[in-house]
Chains A and B, each alone.
Chain A
């Protein structure tokens, strides 16, 4: 399916159902279309399945029914390397390796492009190292590249995670509860940087969030997930003016 026949949707979920066990559905018959180049925020109370939805959209979990496509290609039919060139994923706790430096963590974004032998020896091509440095620079922490993630602050870790995903060069990034643990000013600054990076690299972002203010700042579109179903989609400012649902837990 395409948008006006030319611009395709970045991600589409077509009637997906998901249960971790038996028929205890976490997601029920969910369909959604994320336009390419737009940033979508998914909101909803805790325990409604936002994380599960994002993991299914990112191709990490496979839905029981229905299918997810990225730029028209069903994620189930793509191998891991091909999928990684299309979708990047940042889990809620960021998934950084604490014992390694920021630069090493960012370089992991290039693993899908380099061979096992080279990677095992830790020999990344020079241009990948330069691109990793540039990604850290774009996030404003180039000077921390050799610091261990273990010693970094929450905000710095968020930037490292984004830089890793930028090096991966995906066309879509799925991020779970991004910037949730940060104070408002810092979260706002990081999200502004992400928007700039996304525009420069032409990346479509999908994030779950629980703070309205940040969702309005970052999202072009806001979707609400309630009772295992997408209940409403909002664009821009409408969210505050018309919506009654309470996104906080």
Chain B
């Protein structure tokens, strides 16, 4: 009890020190920030809807990139996550698979986009590969952990029917995890739509390019239109994934 209290006090002191170091207690600066927020807000209104056709085209590219990248990453993450399941494979093999996934995950999606811009040139293809790469690293880890949590009694029972490892994956591991597999890939899709709207900053296609131009030219009314479009898409995605969850989770028919 006493040690918990000490830990809490130490954490609070550390937080205060960090905030101070970051300039959180520079009141004058914060007040200036609030004044600027007012000015920025005024400059954003009303949104310039004249650029809607341009923005919509860029937005569609972003949506395409996120869908294709998420799907490619999802497919590629499967073999890696199965190899990373310690219940099925030797510690060496599963350790190696997990190491590869961790390596991929270490690199942020923006950096992956830069790598692919170098490899395949400017444009949405680089963005798609960047998103796919990051998705592989993330999902492979999540799925391997998920597969490892499969009820050992079910594995044992089906193994005793003479099933091979591949058959166990097909008939036990994937169906048992089906709900979480779907939930995670939907989460990743939402995440990728938000992430891919800035990939254009590094020339990887989509909305980011447009956002960057309007930011640099201080054209905030046009920027407001773009941000509103992103908001609409993210809300639509939320609705879509809520619908998918409602219709498929808990009653997933895996075969």
Contact = CB atoms under 8 A, between A and B. Distances in A.
Nearest to A176: B153
B255 A93 contact: no
A148 interface: yes
A172 to B, nearest CB: 11
Given A96-B154, A97-B154, A108-B171, A83 B251 contact: no
A81 B162 contact: yes
A60 interface: yes
B54 interface: no
A85 B160 CA distance: 9
A117 to B, nearest CB: 9
- Secondary structure type dominating chain B contacts: helix
Interface string A90-130: 11111111111100100011111100100110100000000
Interface residues of A, number: 39
A52 interface: no
Nearest to B176: A97
Nearest to A151: B251
Contact of A116 (B164, B175, B178, B251): B164
A150 B179 CA distance: 13
Contacts, number: 98
Given A88-B161, A148-B251, A164-B161, A95 B153 contact: yes
A87 interface: yes
Interface string B127-152: 00000000000000000000000010
Given A80-B159, A168-B161, A99 B252 contact: yes
Contact of A92 (B153, B164, B172, B251): B153
B118 interface: no
Contact of A84 (B160, B166, B179): B160
A119 B166 contact: yes
23 contacts: A59-B160, A60-B156, A87-B160, A89-B157, A92-B153, A93-B153, A95-B157, A97-B171, A99-B178, A100-B171, A100-B253, A100-B254, A108-B161, A111-B158, A111-B163, A112-B162, A113-B162, A119-B171, A120-B170, A148-B253, A150-B251, A161-B157, A168-B162
Given A95-B158, A99-B254, 5 more contacts: A81-B162, A84-B160, A95-B153, A113-B162, A150-B251
Which 4 pairs from chain A and chain B are nearest by CB?
Answer: A112-B162, A95-B157, A84-B162, A111-B163
